Structure 1
């Protein structure tokens, strides 16, 4: 009996931080499905493809649909790298819809594969999918933020192209990250 309790404690300690990073804890599930919780409740996770917060969405919690300034665009690109503190998972909640669509596996299966040491590129390759397809889909899902800032006149077309390239580089890093390489810092396009 003691062995079971110890094993359960160890498993719980390993699973809860990863589940929280993905917005899959029971608390997050109950608060997002409860009809009585308000949208201002800080425990409600943004589970859409465009955002997240704190530990669930990445370092900045930038919402793609609300980006209107170049400063927010810089934060968005930085967030695309993911949260290195979450190991290979890198906090995939903000891109979960893309992962579901492109990989075609359940969130739980993705966790099993990543917990076994596979990064997103290895998962894709095991499923017969070119990892670049995953990168392209992630870039496409976050590119509307660049278009919004471009349309506002805050950046030029040349800067928008630099942001698109930076976004692609960030998602390539996230998809292929081996758990060793230090996460780059993005501070804006080259002048």
Structure 2
């Protein structure tokens, strides 16, 4: 009898949606993950039925595009837009490649970054300055980490050298916004290079 009860509990748990709160998130950023053992499928949706977080391969993070999976100019535009970040999610979160750069350049723990940003109200530029890192070095490292997406499209002939330069400038602008965001400015919209 005990075995049947345990098995029933596992089966029920596999079928019911599980609520997962994004890193330090409030109710507005709660993600719902559902898993079905009958079909072997899993899925993640954002608040209010938004599409799954992240790009192909699941590396993007909330609303993100995976920099290593960009194969079209449209995906590059979406990647640059995602570089601005989403203020309601906290600008230090999002893509794993962003977190990797923050870890490498800032050399502080993820928990310490939370304390500095959420409890002390610091933005990424202030965090960098406090630990002796030039905020521009952080911007440069973030741009460098995502520039291969631009280089790949240039090499494939999808974009011209002039367009590649324009996209690099747009990427730097996006990451500068992310690093220096003061908590009040609305996130700009990037819809591609101006003709």
TM class, shorter-length:
0.7 to 0.9
Cα distance in 2 between the residues matched to 1:184 and 1:142: 19
Q: Which has the higher helix share?
A: 1
Q: How far has the Cα of 1:91 moved from its partner?
A: 5.3
Query: Could you give the per-residue CA deviations for residues 7-27 of structure 1, whole angstroms, max 9, x where no partner exists?
Result: xxxxxxxxx444369xxx9x9
What does 1:122-141 align with in structure 2 at a 5 Å threshold?
Answer: 122-141=126-145
Q: How does 1:1-191 map to 2 (within 5 A)?
A: 16-19=21-24, 41-42=42-43, 51-52=59-60, 57-59=61-63, 61-86=64-89, 89-90=90-91, 92-94=93-95, 95-115=98-118, 116-191=120-195
Q: Which runs of 5 or more residues in structure 2 are unaligned?
A: 1-20, 34-39, 45-51
- Residues 67, 40 of structure 1: CA spacing in aligned structure 2 closer, same or farther, 3 A cutoff? farther
Which structure's residues are more often strand, by fraction?
2
- 2: CA distance, partners of 1:98 / 1:151: 25
The alpha carbon displacement at 1:132 in A equals: 0.3
Between the aligned partners of 2:59 and 2:169, the Cα distance in structure 1 is 20
Q: CA deviation at 1:58?
A: 3.4
If asked which structure has higher relative contact order (CA below 8 Å, sep 6+), I would say 1
Query: Structure 1 stretches (4+) deviating beyond 4 angstroms?
Result: 43-46
Query: How much is the aligned-residue C-alpha RMSD, in angstroms?
Result: 2.8
TM-score when normalising by structure 2: 0.71
In the aligned structure 2, how far is the partner of 1:62 from the partner of 1:81? 12
User: CA contact under 8 A between 2:87 and 2:187: conserved in structure 1?
Assistant: yes
Runs of 5+ in structure 1 lacking a partner?
A: 1-15, 29-38
Deviations, residues 121-177 of structure 1 (Å, cap 9, x unaligned): 000000010000000000000000001111111110000000000000000000000
Q: 1:17 to 1:66 in 2, by over 3 A?
A: closer
Residues paired across the two proteins, number: 154
Distance 2:68 2:43 in 1: 19
Counterpart secondary structure, 1:19: coil
Counterpart of 1:42 in 2: which secondary structure? strand
